[in-house]
Amino acid sequence: MAKPKLLITRKLRDGVEARAARDYEVTLNPSDRLLTEAELIEACRKVDAVLPCHSERFSAEVIAAIGPGLKIIANHSVGTDHVDLAAAKAAGVVVTNTPDVLSDATAEIAMLCMLGAARRGAEGDAMIRAGKWDFWSPAFMVGRQVTGKRLGILGMGRVGQVVADRGRGFGMEVHYHNRRRLPAHLEKGAVFHETMESLLAVSDVLSLHCPTTPESVGIINARTLAMLPDRAILVNTARGALVDESALVAALRSGKLFAAGLDVFRTEPGGNPEIAALPNVFLLPHIGSATEETRDAMGARALDNLDAYFAGREPGDRVA
């Protein structure tokens, strides 16, 4: 029996690619070059399945142009905002993701962004690298301590819950807003807020962990930033589209926000030059899940979904 044809759009871990090559007639991308839309369409027309990352966009137009040959999009990501799920479903294309396995790694990055922002990590690093550290006093490089502060979590899903646990380890008081209140054994004493506005009012540190939907795009904007306590800290390790970056720049320049820690941006790769020019921002290039362990687990989870589909079983992580 012929093996299903599989396209893997980006360079994955060696073990993941070896497993894929064992079980599928696989097309790899050893140069790790981002495919153009035309190249993606052409490549997907030749295969039964594609294993993409969030860098490949499957709009309704792309899905229509690919045609009926493609059977499944097995994402190497937990987010699916790069895929038009309604269009995929209408075309009979199954879509899966890789939940659970990246929660710890992403939560670690959220804590790194929080601490880097609060303790002025970017400024200190830049100063030493430039050879400009020539002074010290008790007033030098004074940041904000997170211990005892109120940690607001917008989106208390898998990652949000791990961030809450890590925050408790720093002696933070956890508050959250979610579409639904968590049961007590998951809430673990965190304070539930029925509205986002109520959460914002008490968030000394606000960490974003909600998905990108039409309703959540730009949810952090001039109006909502004004609701935060003065000199709050914003952390975003979810998706750049959640934040109105012009409003964020204004809040950072005015001192409304003490600092921000960001792993995601509206334009990726590249980021935002206006944000990058500010001293009170700790920046990372979307590496929330970039650990050896998590990348291995994400690849394995995506292949598990493919294996289930081609064995005639329902994929465990089907989202469309």
d(CA 92, CA 153) in angstroms, rounded, equals 36
- Clarify whether 76 is annotated catalytic: no
- Clarify whether 177 is annotated catalytic: no
Nearest to 75 by CA among 57, 100, 43, 50: 50
DSSP 25-67: EEE--TT-PPPPHHHHHHHHTT-SEEE--TTS-B-HHHHHHH-
- Clarify whether 286 is annotated catalytic: yes
Check 120, 150, 193, 239 and give the catalytic one.
239
Burial 2-37 (b: 16+ CB within 10 A, else e): eebbbbbbbebeeebbebbeeebebebbeeeeebee
Q: What Cα–Cα distance (Å) separates residue 294 from each residue in 102, 109, 216?
A: 6, 13, 27
Check 25, 39, 268, 293 and give the catalytic one.
268
Check 10, 286, 295, 301 and give the catalytic one.
286
Rounded to the nearest 5 degrees, what angle is found at the Cα of 92, between the Cα atoms of 313 and 306?
A: 35
Half-sphere exposure of residue 28, counting CA atoms within 13 Å on the CB side? 14
Residues marked active site are found at 239, 268, 286
